[in-house]
Structure formats: structure tokens, C-alpha cells
Structure 1
Amino acid sequence: MSENNRDGKRTARERLAVEREKQKAAEKRRRALIVGAAVVGVLGLAAVIGVVAANAGKDDQGSAGPVVAPSGANGEENLAIPVGKDTAKSTLTVWEDFRCPACQSFEKTYRSTIHELTDAGQLRVEYRLATIIDGNMGGSGSRNAANAAACAQDLGRFTPYHDVLYDNQPPETDDAFSDDAKLIELAGKVDGLNTPAFRTCVEDGTHDGWVDKSNEAFGKGGFTGTPTVLLNGKNIFQDQTMTPDKLKQQVQETARG
């Protein structure tokens, strides 16, 4: 065999070897791309499943979490916070919003009379909480304050904290009650309330779901605004002649039978 033929064969073999190496390299790249795509696909599927699962969880609990009624709440779906003796012959149902200026006005006008009648065992009050100012003005102060009041109920301090909130109510456009620190600060005005249990309840929004449920009941009740005040089922807040003395007279007459 001539030298030229041998050189030609070596060159051909070398070219073939190089081509094979190229093919091997290309095959490795192809396999790597396939594996990478598979991994990305699996991760993407996992992410989708995670999002669906997370959203499913939110749908199950709602944005405010589970409905946890405060201690001692009663009435339909445990949406009422009772104050006074069960043996009282008159029941005053008060729908309120802690951001509502008209509610503050009602409280300041009728508070001492209501306390007198409940202390005497002649009147039982059912407080029901709404959040219509949050809906009208924006913010979350109505809900947060209502949750904090429910937390106070858990510790047997609802009435004094309820009164403190109205005594320190911010202007309607000021969402100051959305600040947990503010609500906790005000708890310091009530003996025995500013405790770790109360602070945790406020900061965790333990009763937010219950507050939302109460507000839904307010809407379904067909009421036009807060406060809505019912004495033995009759709307007395719409009675232009109603006064604290008249309320006291009606409750005492019912108590006497």
C-alpha cells in the first residue's frame, strides 16, 4: 500500500472519530435538555399544585380564618355578647360599630341608664357587632376593635373595654383602631385586661371570622345603619320621643309585670 493511501485512510478514520465524538457530545446535550425539561415540568406542576392547595385552604377558612365565638356568646350562631342577668324580663339588642359616631352618641347618652338597669337585674343587653364603617370609609378599625372587644369578653372585661373604646373613639375618617398597639394600649385602662392572653388574641385576630359572621347577620337583618337598638324586638332608636328616662320607665314597668 502506498504512503498516500495509508495517509488517506488515517485521515478518514480521524474524521470519522471526530464525527463520532461530535455525535456523542450532541447526544449528551440532547439527553441533558430532556432531563432538564422534565425537571422543570415537575417543578412547575408542583408549584401549580401548591398554589391550588393554598387557595383551597383559603376558601375553606375564609380570609378571616375560622369562626371562633368569644366566651359566653349566645343567641343564633353565638353572635350575641350578653350583659346582665338571664332572668331580666326585658332584652335590649344593640347593633354597634366601634367606628360609628352615632353609636358613640347613643352610648354616651344611654350608658348610665343601661348600666343601672342591668345592675338591677331588670335589663339584659345583647351586643351585636358590625363593621359597616370599614365598608363605607375603608380600613379595618371596625373589625379590629370588634375582635379586641371579643377578646375582652373572653377575659370577662367586655363592658368596661366596650366603654373605653367609645370614650376614645377616633374621628370616623381616622382608622386608628386598625392598629393593634392602639387597642392594646387602651386595654391598659381596664383593670386586669392587658394580659398576654389578650394581646395574643388581638394580634392574632382570633375572633375576626366571628366578627365577619356578625356583620353578615347585620346585613341579612335588613337594618339600615348603626346603632340599631331594639327593646324586646321593637326598634326604639327610631322613636324620636325616646329618652333614657323613657327607656328606664318602660323597662321598670315590664319588670313589675
Structure 2
Amino acid sequence: MSKRNSQANKAAARERLRIEREKQAKKEKARRQVIVAGTAVAVLAVAGGIGYAVVQAGKPSQWEAAADAKSIAAPKNTEGQDGTTVVLGKPEAKKTLEIFEDSRCPVCATFEQGVGATVEKDVADGKYKLKYVGATFIDNSDQGEGSKNALSALGAALDVSPEAFLKYKAALYSTRFHPEESQDKFAKDSYLLEVADSVPALKGNAEFKKNVEDGTFDAWAMKMSQAFDKSGVTGTPTLKMDGETLTAEGSRNPPLTVDAFTTALTKALKG
């Protein structure tokens, strides 16, 4: 091989090596760009996720939003501002029994199971009217949403009729359906609807079902709860007539039996 050909071959080899190095350099640059871009996307995704989480965390909960609602849908058969006055019974009845209850309250359940039917009959007979004030404080002390959700569902029952309200309230407190205070069963719409199936006026009632599932009366329930908080009553059940608290004879406790209730009520009706 001549010296000239040898030099030409070497030059060609160097050129091929240069071209190959340039190709590799371009590939490496492209790879780095992909890694950088991918990392940037990942960082943005994480930042976006954190940002979304922060925004979501900053949003009020369903019940906080309901408590702050400016527009209140009050059930039928209510009176007063935001419909928080619930008085049931014959208009001609001269006296009104006020009852303060929390749906999760076990002592309220004891009262309703023992005396509820007597109260319902007295109201139907026109012996006195019944004013109901619902509370939700157990949700705060025991954690949960059951008191609020049940109160909203009671609003949906009241929207059907006063009778449906009373029957549904009795069902919620019944031995069959009332859970332990620590069990937040009333937080589930499905369970509230299961209880409602035991009330003829509510079973298969599409409007009632929709109002429960849509939370139509959530804001009303929160306003009712606020009315309880402003009442000065500190425990449930509390019974009042003419501003005086009804207690079992010789005790500060509420009358939880028919006999104790009848004794306290007879005295209050005469007052």
C-alpha cells in the first residue's frame, strides 16, 4: 500500500470517528434533556398534587359549608327564622312541652323507648303541643356526623308530615335501630333509609329518599343545632314547660318512665 493511500485511509478513519462521536454526543444530550424534562414534569406533578391537597384541605367540610350557608331550605311544618321552630300538635292546646334531644344520645333513646308513645298520644289528644329542638353535640364529643345527618333526615321526615316526623323519631330511638353512642351508624344515609322503611309514610317515598341523599336539609339541621346551643340547655334529654325543667320526683334527672313523666307533667300542667 502506498504512503498516500495509507494517509488517506487514516484521514477517513478519523472522519468516521469524529462523526460517530458527534452522534454519540447528540444522543447523550438528548437523553439528558429527556431526564431533565421528566424530572421537571414529576416535580410539577408532585407540586400540583401538594397544591391540590392544600386547596382541598382548605375547603370547608360538607357540614362546615352547611353551617355557613346563606340560603336555608327549611322543611314544611316549621316556623320562625330558618324554620328552626318546630311545634307539633293541636293549635288549641294551651301548654307546650319543649323537648331537647340529640339523635345519638343513649339516654334520649331510653326516654323515647319508655315515654315516647305517651308523649305522642298526649299530643294527638291535644293535652299539650310539642316543641322539638335537635342537638348535634355528640358528634363533637364522640367524633362523627351521625347526629347532624339524623337531624337532617328528621327534617326530611318533617317535610312529609308531622306524623311521619314523630314516627321516624321513634324509630331512630327504638331498640331495633338505635346504635351505641360510640357507633356512628346514623352518618350513613343507607342506614337512615333502612330505619325509614319501618315508617309507612316514608317507605318507598322517593322525595324523602332524595332529600336524605342530597342533604337537602343539612343547612337547616345546622341552624337547628345552633338554636340548641343558644338555648342554654347543656344535656339531653331535657324537658321543659313554661320555662321550667321537668325532672323525676326527688331527682334532677329527666323522667325516664311513664309514671315519673306523668307525675312531673301533671304538676307542670297545673302550674
Indicate conservation of the 8 Å contact 1:145/1:177, yes or no. Answer: no
- Which of 11, 17, 20 in structure 2 is aligned with 1:18? 20
2:57 counterpart of 1:47? no
- CA 112–17 in structure 1, closer or farther in 2 if over 3 Å, else same: closer
- Compute the displacement of 1:2 (Å): 2.2
- CA 31–188 in structure 1, closer or farther in 2 if over 3 Å, else same: closer
Counterpart in 2 of 1:225?
A: 235
| TM-score scaled by length of structure 1 | 0.74
- CA 202–11 in structure 1, closer or farther in 2 if over 3 Å, else same: same
240-249 or 220-229, which moves further after superposition? 240-249
Counterpart in 2 of 1:124?
A: 129
Counterpart in 1 of 2:246?
A: 236
Counterpart in 1 of 2:32?
A: 30
Alpha-carbon distance between aligned partners in 2 of 1:198 and 1:210, rounded to the nearest angstrom: 15
- Compute the displacement of 1:226 (Å): 0.7
Amino acid at match of 1:97: D
2:198 counterpart of 1:189? yes
Structure 2 segments unaligned to the other structure (5+ residues): 68-72, 252-259
Alpha-carbon distance between aligned partners in 2 of 1:114 and 1:37, rounded to the nearest angstrom: 70
Counterpart in 2 of 1:3?
A: 5
Q: Determine what percentage of the aligned residue pairs are the same residue.
A: 29
- CA 236–223 in structure 1, closer or farther in 2 if over 3 Å, else same: same
- Which of 62, 72, 75 in structure 1 is aligned with 2:77? 72
- Residue-pair matches, total: 251
- Which of 139, 154, 167 in structure 2 is aligned with 1:160? 167
Indicate conservation of the 8 Å contact 2:78/2:85, yes or no. Answer: yes
- CA 176–62 in structure 1, closer or farther in 2 if over 3 Å, else same: closer
Alpha-carbon distance between aligned partners in 1 of 2:76 and 2:54, rounded to the nearest angstrom: 35
- Compute the displacement of 1:136 (Å): 5.1
Indicate conservation of the 8 Å contact 1:110/1:244, yes or no. Answer: no
Indicate conservation of the 8 Å contact 1:176/1:182, yes or no. Answer: no
2:155 counterpart of 1:150? yes
Amino acid at match of 1:158: F
Indicate conservation of the 8 Å contact 1:113/1:248, yes or no. Answer: no
15-24 or 38-47, which moves further after superposition? 38-47
- CA 51–105 in structure 1, closer or farther in 2 if over 3 Å, else same: closer
| TM-score scaled by length of structure 2 | 0.71
Amino acid at match of 2:198: K
Counterpart in 1 of 2:112?
A: 107
- CA 135–50 in structure 1, closer or farther in 2 if over 3 Å, else same: closer
Any idea what the Cα deviations from partners look like across 1:14-47, whole Å, max 9, x if unmatched? 2211121122112222332343334334434443
Alpha-carbon distance between aligned partners in 1 of 2:15 and 2:140, rounded to the nearest angstrom: 83
Secondary structure in 1 matching 2:66: coil
Indicate conservation of the 8 Å contact 1:93/1:231, yes or no. Answer: yes
